[in-house]
Structure 1
Amino acid sequence: MSEQDREPPERPVQRPAQPPQPPQPPKPPPAPQKPTRPARPARPSAVLDEAHLGDIQGAFGRIPRDRVETARPGLKARLLTLLAIVGPGIIVMVGDNDAGGVATYAQAGQNHGYSLLWVLLLLIPVLIVNQEMVVRLGAVTGVGHARLIIERFGRFWGWFSVGDLFLLNFLTLVTEFIGISLAAGYLGVSRYVVVPVAALVLIGVAASGSFRRWERAMFVFIAASLLLVPLTLMSHPQWGRAAHDFVVPGIQGGASGEAVLLIIAMVGTTVAPWQLFFQQSNVIDKRITPRFIGYERADTVIGSLVVVAGGAALIMIADYAARGTGAHGHFTDAAGVAEALGRHDPVLGVLFAVVLLDASIIGAAAVTLATSYAFGDVFNLRHSLHRRFREARKFYASYSLLVLVAAAIVLIPGAPLGLITEGVQALAGLLLPSASVFLLLLCNDPEVLGPWVNRRRLNALAALIIAVLLMLSGMLMVTTLFPAVDVTALTLWFSIALAGCLTAAAALRIARRRAPPRPVPVLPRAEKLAWRMPPLALLRPVRWSPGTRLGMTALRAYLILGALLLLVKVIRLGGA
C-alpha cells in the first residue's frame, strides 16, 4: 500500500481547560430508619381440611386465592366471577327436583291440574331465606353443618341430627334408584343393567379427584334436564291458566284431605333437610370465602327460580297427560305419567322417562355427597372432592358404600320399596324442624358468624317460615302415624295453634322491644369480607336464654316421641 492510500494520523484534540470546581459540602449523615412493624399474624382458621383452602376451581372458571381487586370490577369481570362461583346453589336446587320431586309434582298436576301452582310461588322465599343462611355459614366458618351442630349444641343434638340425617339420606337415595328403575322399565331396559351402571357412574364422577370435573359432570346432567323445555311446549300448555293459578290460590276438586297432604308433600320435597347440609359443605369445598358471598347468593336465587320453573313444568306436563282421559285424579307413580304421555305421543313418554332418569341421578349425587360430607365433618376426616381417592379413602369409601347398598336394595326381589318411600316422608317431617331451628340459632351466634349474623328483619321472616314448617311437619307426622285422621280438621286445629303461637311471640316481642338491641360488630367492608370464624376450640360456649332452653326442651320431646311412634309403626308394617 502506498503512502497516499494510508490515512493520515489523527491529531490530538486539545480540550479547553476546565475551571476549578468549588469544593462540595459534606453529605449529611443518613437519617435513622424507623423500626419496621412486625407483620400481623394471619388469623387462625377453623377449616378442618386443608384442601378446602386454595383457588376456586369452578366448572366455568377459576379464581386465584390471592387475587387482589384494586378497583371496582366492571360488568364483564363480575360476570366472569359469577360464572366461576355458580354451582352449589344451582346443583342443590336442581337436585331437589329428584325422583320424589318428579313424582310429587306429577301427582299434583294429574290430580289437581294447574290449581296448585301457587304453592311453588310461596316456596321461593322459603328456599332463598334458608339456603342464603347456609351460604353465609359455609363461607364464613369453613365448617360443615353437622360439625357446627355438635360443637355448639352438644352431643345429643349433634348425634340425633346427624344420625337422623344419615338414615333419611340413605332412604332417600334408595328412592332415587327406584326412580332410575322405573325410568329404565319404561324405556325397555332391564333394571339389572341400568341401576348398576348408574351406581358406577355416580361413584366414578365423585371419585375423580377433581372438584372441577365433578361440577362439570353435574352441569352436564343439569343440561340434560332442559329436556323439560321441549316436553312442556309439546304438552300444549295453557299459559293464561298457568299465570292465573300461580297467583290465585285454589284447589281443583276442593280442599280434601288428599289435597292438603299433597301440599305438605310439595313443601317437604322442595324444602328438604339434606339441602342445608349439602350446600354449606359444597360452598366450603369449592373454597368460597366471604369475599364471594354476594355471587353465591345470586347462584342460590338462580337455583330457586330454576327449581320452581321445573316443578311448574312437571305439573303442566302431568295435567296434559291426564287431560281427556280416565287417568285424571288417579295418580299411581311417575311411570304411569310416562305411559299416559305415551298415549298422546310416544316421544313424550320417552322424554319424560329420560327426565325422570336424569333427575334421579342428580338427586342421588347430591344426597349421597351431603351424607359423605357430614361423615367427614363428624369424624374429622379428609372430605374434599379436590383430593384423590388415596388421599381421602374413608370419605370416598362412605360415598361408594352408600351408593352400592342403596342400588342393591332396589334390585332385591320383593324389597319393601313402598315402606321405604313412606319412611322417607315421615323422617323428613321429623328432621325438618330441628334442622331449621339449628340453622336459625347458628346464624344468630356471634361466635360463629361475627359481623355476618342475622339482622332482626331476617330473623322475623325466618322465624315465621320455621313456624309454618313446624306446623306442616307435625301434620305430616300425625297423618303418617294415624292415616285415618280427619286431615281437614287437623289442618284447622294446627292453624289455630300456629296463629296463637305467633300472637304470643309478637306480644312477647312488643313487651321486650325496649330492651337494648343485641350488639352486632360493625366492621369496615374490607375487614368484614376478611372475617372468618376462629377455630372451634377458641369459641366461647353457647348460652341459651330461658325461653330458648324451654323451646329446645319441647323440641327434644317432640323428636323423641315422634321417633318412638315412627319406630312402632315401622315394626307393625313390617310384620303385616
Structure 2
Amino acid sequence: MPAPTIPGSPPLKSAGFFKRLGPGLLTGAADDDPSGIATYSQVGAQFGYGLAWTMLFSFPLMAVIQAISARIGAVTGYGIAQNLRRHYSPWLVRAVVLLLLVANVINLGADLGAMGAAVGLLIGGPEHLYTVLFGLACILLETFMSYARYAAVLKWATLSLFTYVAVVFAAQVPWGSALYGALVPHLVLDAPHAMALVAVLGTTISPYLFFWQAGQEVEELHRREASALRLKPLDAAPELARIRTDTVVGMGISNLIALFIIFATAATLNANGVTDIHTSSQAAEALRPIAGAFTFALFATGIIATGMLAVPVLAGSAAYALSEAFGWTEGLHRRPREAKAFYATIAVATLGGVALNFTPLDPVKALYWSAVVNGVLAAPLMAVMMVIAMNPRVMGRLTLPRSMLFIGWLATSVMALATIGFFII
C-alpha cells in the first residue's frame, strides 16, 4: 500500500516514510500507556462494543490539538510552558506546571506499578522490585543515551503496540458486531456511559502529551540545527506538512490500538460476564481463564512494552514544563551536566511515581484524582494554546489556518463539556 501524501508536499516513498515520522508517532504511542489500557479495557468489559465509536469520534479532535502543540514548538522554537512564560502572566504558567506535575507523578506511579504487576503475572516474583527496576531503567536510558539513539529506540518501540492487534485476532472477535459498534454512535444518557465517555476523552486528550510533542519538535530543530519556522515562513510548508503527516499517523495508530483493546476485552471479558476492571494488570489476569494463556501473555507483554515507552514521555514532559517555566537549560539533546535541573526533574518525577507504589494510596483512587487534575488542566490549557497559535506576535505569519482553528476550538469545547460532566456525574 503506498504511503499517504499531503497536498502541496512531495510524494513520500515507502522506504523513507517511517523515517519521516517522529514526535507525533511517539506521542500517539505513549498515549496508550498502561493507565490508558486500563481505561479502554474497562470500557470494553463494561459496555462491550457500545462505546467503540468514541475512538473514531475523538481521533480528529486529538490529531488537531496535538498538531497545534507541535506547530507551536516548531514555529516558535520554544515549548508550551516557555511560550506561556514569555508572553503571558507568570502565575498562569506556574499553576499549569504544578497541576501537570501532580497528574504526571500519579500517572507514573500507576504505569510503573502496572508494569511491575505484569511481570509478576508472567513470571512471578516481587512486583515492587520489578517496579523499582523499571523506574531506574527508564531514568538511566533517558539520561545517558544520546538523543538521536534514544529517539530511534522509542520510535521502534512503538511497534510494541501491535501486540494488541495480535490479541484481537487471538480473541476471535465477532467483526460484524465490533465494526457496527465502532462506526455507528450509540448514545445512552445515563451516569455510567457519561462517566466512561469522560474517561475516554481524558485518556486520549491529555495535557502531558501537549508539552511532550511541542518539546520534541524543539528537540528536532536542535538536532537538525534548523531555525524556528517563524524566521523563514516562506520555507515552512514542507515542515508543516511533515508535522501534519506525523501527527495524523501517530494519533491514528494510537486510537486504532485503543479500539482494538476495546474489541479484545469486549469479545472476552464482557462476553463472559466480567465487567469490572480497574487496572491493566487486572484485565490481563481476567483474560487468562477466558481467552487462554497465549492471549493473556500477549496482553501482559504489551503492558510492559507500552509502559517503557510512556514512562519516559510522562517524566520528560514534566521536565520540559518545569524547566521552561523557570528558564532552566533543558532538552534531551543536552548532556546531563549541561541540563542538571532538567534531568533531575526526570529522575525525581520517576522516583516519585515509584514511591507511590510503596504507600497505602489506592492506585485506582490515585488514577481517579489524576483524571480530575487532567480534567481541570486540559480545557483551559487547550484554550491558552489556541490563543498562542492565533497570536501573530508569537507565531509570526504562521498562525493557524481556518480548518485547524475550527477543529481546535471544537476540541476545546468538547473537553470543557467533558470536564464539567466529570464533576456533575
Normalised to the residue count of structure 1, the TM-score between the two structures is 0.67
- Uncovered stretches (5+) of structure 2, i.e. residues with no partner: 1-8, 230-235
Does 2:214 align with 1:280? yes
**Residue from 75, 82, 91 that aligns with 1:156:** 91
Per the TM alignment, residue 92 of structure 1 is displaced from its structure 2 partner at its CA by: 0.7
Does 2:343 align with 1:391? no
**Residue from 161, 177, 182 that aligns with 2:117:** 182
Q: How far apart, CA to CA, are the structure 2 residues paired with 1:352 and 1:293?
A: 36
Q: How far apart, CA to CA, are the structure 1 residues paired with 2:403 and 2:245?
A: 20
- Could you tell me which residue of structure 2 aligns to residue 462 of structure 1? 408
- Could you tell me which residue of structure 2 aligns to residue 145 of structure 1? 80
Does 2:163 align with 1:216? no
Q: How far apart, CA to CA, are the structure 2 residues paired with 1:451 and 1:271?
A: 27
User: What is the correspondence of 1:103-252 to structure 2 with a 5 Å cutoff?
Assistant: 103-187=38-122, 188-250=124-186
SS at structure 1 position matched to 2:397? helix
Per the TM alignment, residue 79 of structure 1 is displaced from its structure 2 partner at its CA by: 6.1
Amino acid of the structure 1 residue aligned with 2:186 = G
Asked if the contact 2:116/2:134 (under 8 Å) is kept, the reply is: no
> Percent identity, aligned pairs only?
23
Q: How far apart, CA to CA, are the structure 1 residues paired with 2:95 and 2:209?
A: 17
Q: How far apart, CA to CA, are the structure 2 residues paired with 1:74 and 1:333?
A: 43
Normalised to the residue count of structure 2, the TM-score between the two structures is 0.89
- Could you tell me which residue of structure 2 aligns to residue 353 of structure 1? 300
Q: How far apart, CA to CA, are the structure 2 residues paired with 1:338 and 1:258?
A: 23
1:67-125 per-position Cα deviation (integer Å, ceiling 9, x unaligned): xxxxx96754x963x54441110111111111221011101111111111111101111
Does 2:247 align with 1:322? no
Does 2:390 align with 1:444? yes
Q: How far apart, CA to CA, are the structure 2 residues paired with 1:381 and 1:430?
A: 26
Amino acid of the structure 1 residue aligned with 2:202 = G
SS at structure 2 position matched to 1:116? coil
Q: Give the direction of change, closer, same or farther, for the CA distance of 1:458–1:222 in structure 2 (3 Å limit).
A: closer
Q: Give the direction of change, closer, same or farther, for the CA distance of 1:416–1:237 in structure 2 (3 Å limit).
A: closer
Q: How far apart, CA to CA, are the structure 1 residues paired with 2:255 and 2:96?
A: 28
Q: Which has the higher contact order (CA 8 A, sep 6+)?
A: 2
- Could you tell me which residue of structure 2 aligns to residue 331 of structure 1? 277
Q: How far apart, CA to CA, are the structure 2 residues paired with 1:274 and 1:323?
A: 31
Q: How far apart, CA to CA, are the structure 1 residues paired with 2:270 and 2:419?
A: 32
Q: How far apart, CA to CA, are the structure 2 residues paired with 1:267 and 1:293?
A: 26
Amino acid of the structure 1 residue aligned with 2:49 = Y
1:149-186 per-position Cα deviation (integer Å, ceiling 9, x unaligned): 12222112121111111222122211212222331332
Q: How far apart, CA to CA, are the structure 1 residues paired with 2:268 and 2:12?
A: 44
Q: Give the direction of change, closer, same or farther, for the CA distance of 1:160–1:323 in structure 2 (3 Å limit).
A: closer
Q: How far apart, CA to CA, are the structure 1 residues paired with 2:96 and 2:363?
A: 24
Q: How far apart, CA to CA, are the structure 1 residues paired with 2:181 and 2:281?
A: 26
1:219-244 per-position Cα deviation (integer Å, ceiling 9, x unaligned): 34322222112211101122222222
Q: Give the direction of change, closer, same or farther, for the CA distance of 1:464–1:183 in structure 2 (3 Å limit).
A: same
Asked if the contact 1:145/1:277 (under 8 Å) is kept, the reply is: yes
Asked if the contact 1:211/1:286 (under 8 Å) is kept, the reply is: no
Amino acid of the structure 2 residue aligned with 1:102 = I
Asked if the contact 1:205/1:213 (under 8 Å) is kept, the reply is: no
User: What is the correspondence of 1:360-509 to structure 2 with a 5 Å cutoff?
Assistant: 360-412=307-359, 414-476=360-422, 478-479=423-424, 487=425
Asked if the contact 2:391/2:399 (under 8 Å) is kept, the reply is: yes
- Could you tell me which residue of structure 2 aligns to residue 259 of structure 1? 193
Amino acid of the structure 1 residue aligned with 2:324 = D
Q: How far apart, CA to CA, are the structure 2 residues paired with 1:311 and 1:441?
A: 30
1:380-410 per-position Cα deviation (integer Å, ceiling 9, x unaligned): 2221212222222221111111112211221
Asked if the contact 1:102/1:311 (under 8 Å) is kept, the reply is: yes
SS at structure 1 position matched to 2:202? helix
Q: How far apart, CA to CA, are the structure 2 residues paired with 1:366 and 1:91?
A: 9
Q: How far apart, CA to CA, are the structure 2 residues paired with 1:102 and 1:108?
A: 10
Q: Give the direction of change, closer, same or farther, for the CA distance of 1:333–1:209 in structure 2 (3 Å limit).
A: closer
Asked if the contact 1:321/1:340 (under 8 Å) is kept, the reply is: no
Amino acid of the structure 2 residue aligned with 1:371 = A
User: What is the correspondence of 1:2-13 to structure 2 with a 5 Å cutoff?
Assistant: none
SS at structure 2 position matched to 1:390? coil
Q: Give the direction of change, closer, same or farther, for the CA distance of 1:84–1:470 in structure 2 (3 Å limit).
A: same
SS at structure 2 position matched to 1:138? helix
Q: How far apart, CA to CA, are the structure 1 residues paired with 2:280 and 2:286?
A: 10
1:331-360 per-position Cα deviation (integer Å, ceiling 9, x unaligned): 343233222221131111111111112222
Number of residue pairs the alignment of both structures matches: 402
Q: How far apart, CA to CA, are the structure 2 residues paired with 1:459 and 1:219?
A: 29
Per the TM alignment, residue 323 of structure 1 is displaced from its structure 2 partner at its CA by: 4.8
- Could you tell me which residue of structure 1 aligns to residue 232 of structure 2? none
Asked if the contact 1:209/1:387 (under 8 Å) is kept, the reply is: no
Provide the aligned C-alpha RMSD in A.
2.0
Q: How far apart, CA to CA, are the structure 2 residues paired with 1:119 and 1:236?
A: 22
Q: How far apart, CA to CA, are the structure 2 residues paired with 1:284 and 1:89?
A: 13
Q: Which is further off, 401-410 or 108-117?
A: 401-410
Q: How far apart, CA to CA, are the structure 2 residues paired with 1:458 and 1:195?
A: 41
Amino acid of the structure 1 residue aligned with 2:210 = L
Per the TM alignment, residue 324 of structure 1 is displaced from its structure 2 partner at its CA by: 4.5
1:179-202 per-position Cα deviation (integer Å, ceiling 9, x unaligned): 223313322232132112111221
Q: Which has the higher helix share?
A: 2
Q: How far apart, CA to CA, are the structure 2 residues paired with 1:386 and 1:448?
A: 24
Per the TM alignment, residue 208 of structure 1 is displaced from its structure 2 partner at its CA by: 2.3
Q: How far apart, CA to CA, are the structure 2 residues paired with 1:262 and 1:230?
A: 25
Asked if the contact 1:137/1:449 (under 8 Å) is kept, the reply is: yes
- Could you tell me which residue of structure 1 aligns to residue 27 of structure 2? 92
Q: Give the direction of change, closer, same or farther, for the CA distance of 1:197–1:450 in structure 2 (3 Å limit).
A: same
Q: Which has the larger radius of gyration?
A: 1
Asked if the contact 2:35/2:279 (under 8 Å) is kept, the reply is: no
Per the TM alignment, residue 275 of structure 1 is displaced from its structure 2 partner at its CA by: 1.0
- Uncovered stretches (5+) of structure 1, i.e. residues with no partner: 1-71, 480-486, 488-576
Per the TM alignment, residue 411 of structure 1 is displaced from its structure 2 partner at its CA by: 2.9
Asked if the contact 1:205/1:217 (under 8 Å) is kept, the reply is: no
Q: How far apart, CA to CA, are the structure 1 residues paired with 2:65 and 2:407?
A: 10
